[in-house]
Amino acid sequence: MKLPLLKTGFVIWAVATICLRVAGSYVLWTRAWAWTLALFVVSFIAMGVLARRLCKATRLTRNEWPAGAISLALPTLILDPFSAGFFSRVFPNIDPTMAGVFGGWMLICCAGALVGVLQLRDPTKSA
């Protein structure tokens, strides 16, 4: 467990939850499949980039990056099932039918962070 990234993950989770509670109806729209698809793709990429940058900023070795990404994603993975389970209470301004989209969005964000820190090519082989 990488405590600095766990703390950062919790702060990201808290800020994002507050923002969604205030203005979530502008992010999660019903019957807007193209918007949802774009949101998922952009979020996946953004979280991958963010996880890499945070692992570099905290000066983790490349071997520690997967643990760093797990630490970063853990608050979302632990706390957002409760947000989804009590969706209409946590996010009263968002259509309750969007709970599934919300859950999918959180999973795609976590997946982006995890994939973002993977080393996709063998550094011992020259290109």
Asked if residue 29 is part of any domain, the answer here is no
As given in the structure block, the two tokens for residue 19 are 């923002």
Higher pLDDT, 124 or 118: 118
Quote the number of domains for the chain. 1
Taking Cα atoms as reference points, which of 106, 98, 124, 101 lies closest to residue 17? 106
Mean pLDDT on 47-55: 97
pLDDT at 121 over 80: no
* Residue 15 vs residues 19, 22, 48, 120, 121: alpha-carbon distances, Å: 6, 11, 19, 31, 34
Phi, psi of 29, rounded to the nearest 5 degrees: -105, 140
- DSSP tag of 63: G
For the chain, the average pLDDT equals: 93
**pLDDT tens, position by position, 62-98:** 999 999 999 999 999 999 999 999 999 999 999 999 9
In the structure, what pLDDT confidence band is assigned to residue 124 with cuts at 50, 70 and 90?
low
Count of CB atoms within 10 A of residue 88's CB? Answer: 13
In a domain, 110, yes or no: yes
Q: Is residue 122 part of a domain?
A: no
Q: How far apart are CA 58 and CA 9, in angstroms?
A: 13
In a domain, 54, yes or no: yes
68: domain range? 3-21+34-116
